[in-house]
Structure 1
């Protein structure tokens, strides 16, 4: 299926991804992983929730950990350009037949909650409480020294449908993988903020969250994290990498948190600001597509993902497979 022509003037203006809410089964254990090991900064916490931000971020949070009976994802959140864009988003989703509601969220202004084409819970807001900058408070830097949240990647039962939907609201494809036999998309990377992606879709049972990524300063930070995890009881949580992707050209490491939520640590991709930038096409069987260099991805990387709370999944009908490590 051809990549759709970009929607340069969408019905409402999404600036970027913003944050994600993880259900976790043991809050203190998750705090140790995200704060003491990865190095995210606590902006507020109580016995039910922990709010976290990375070092360059001025918004109150990019990740919320919420005590829960199950390790499910509660929502993916995006920031829009201004208050008026929220009303435009509300009206567009309602007109398209999607459920819409205004919800209360701590540290945020008006927040719209709705569902995408696969019933993935997504939220939009404009105002979030601003915090003082800490990017030059170098005494606070530890762990992998995360600078900012970078992207979400989702398993999708129909990547073509996902691309069509998000294209309609202004997300643009930067790179994609096509199955040559069927002509269908196996994966696609889409952005709003001018990087390789704010959101990506990978063929598989979905919707499920494949991973959330955080940007770090250099590949050496990733090597330091490997050393730290290997000596603090988390060596078994290193799932894949370090290595370099063919798609995005990013240096990467994938780790699992104590509940199995997958986190990618990520650096050195490229800018995609030009609205007429042509997407890069990859063949599914190209071994350098997913890994320019490094070990191939393990089977768990293609099968394991986080459920969305209360959302049923469906199996993809596209049975093409990439190269998988033994």
Structure 2
């Protein structure tokens, strides 16, 4: 199935990804991981939830950790241009026969929850409380010095269908992996904000959240985090990397939080703001697509992901498998 032509005039205007909520079983352990080790900043906390932001962010939160009996991913949040576009978004999802539930969210204006056709829980809003800037408060920089949330990657049982739906929302494909035998998509990277991706889709049992990524200043920050994790009891939470992806050109590290939610630490991708930018194609059998250099990805990286709360997982319709880098 060919990559759809960019939809430059979608029915409503999504600015960027915004935040994610993760269900965690032990708030204290999660706080030690995300705050004391990674260096995210606490903007509010209670016995039930912790709200976090990264150093360059002015919005109240990019990550919500909520105490839960089960570790699961909840809503993936997106910011739209204004209240008029929020109403247009609600109208769009209703027109598709998808749920639209207006909900109260702390620190956000009017917000609705919905799901994409595969069941990924989504949340849309136009305004979030603003906080004073802290990007020059260098005494606060800790851990890997996370600057901002960068993207989500989700397992999809049908990547072609996921790309087609998000194309309707105005997400443009920057890079993709194609199975030559079938002509179908095995993975695709799509964006709104002008980077390589706001949300990507990888073939697999899904929908499940593969990872949430945070942008950091330099590869040296990733090396510093590895030293820190190796000497503070987190060495077994290092899953993959460091290395460099072929796709996106990113310098990366994958780690797992205390509940197994996967986090990518990420830098060095490129700008994609031109509306006529042609997507880059990768063959599924090219081992450098996932690892330009570095150790091969472990089996867990291909098979494990966070369940979305209340969503049924389906087997993938494409059986093809990539070549793992030697």
Q: Normalised by the shorter chain, which TM-score bucket?
A: over 0.9
Give yes or no for the alignment of 1:187 onto 2:191: no
Question: In structure 1, the residue corresponding to 2:94 is in which secondary structure?
Answer: helix
Q: Residue in 1 aligned with 2:91?
A: 91
Give yes or no for the alignment of 1:14 onto 2:14: yes
Structure 1, gaps ≥5 residues long: none
Between the two proteins, the alignment pairs up a number of residues equal to: 326
Q: State how 1:18-37 maps to structure 2 within 5 Å.
A: 18-37=18-37
Within 2, Cα distance between the matches of 1:319 and 1:170?
A: 28
Within 1, Cα distance between the matches of 2:324 and 2:237?
A: 19
Q: Residue in 1 aligned with 2:157?
A: 157
User: Contact (CA 8 Å) 1:39, 1:145: kept in 2 or not?
Assistant: yes
Following superposition, the deviation at residue 323 of structure 1 comes to 2.3
Q: Residue in 2 aligned with 1:61?
A: 61
CA displacement 1:271-301 (0-9 Å, x = unmatched): 0000000000000111110011101111100
Give yes or no for the alignment of 1:78 onto 2:78: yes
Within 1, Cα distance between the matches of 2:215 and 2:137?
A: 18
Within 2, Cα distance between the matches of 1:148 and 1:264?
A: 12
Q: State how 1:145-224 maps to structure 2 within 5 Å.
A: 145-224=145-224
Query: TM-score scaled to structure 1, two decimals?
Result: 0.99
Following superposition, the deviation at residue 325 of structure 1 comes to 6.7
RMSD of equivalent CA atoms? 0.8
Within 2, Cα distance between the matches of 1:269 and 1:325?
A: 20
Question: In structure 1, the residue corresponding to 2:289 is in which secondary structure?
Answer: coil
Q: Residue in 2 aligned with 1:308?
A: 308
User: Contact (CA 8 Å) 1:298, 1:324: kept in 2 or not?
Assistant: no
Q: Residue in 2 aligned with 1:264?
A: 264
CA displacement 1:18-67 (0-9 Å, x = unmatched): 00000000000000000000000000000000000000000000000000
Within 2, Cα distance between the matches of 1:116 and 1:203?
A: 16
Question: In structure 1, the residue corresponding to 2:79 is in which secondary structure?
Answer: strand
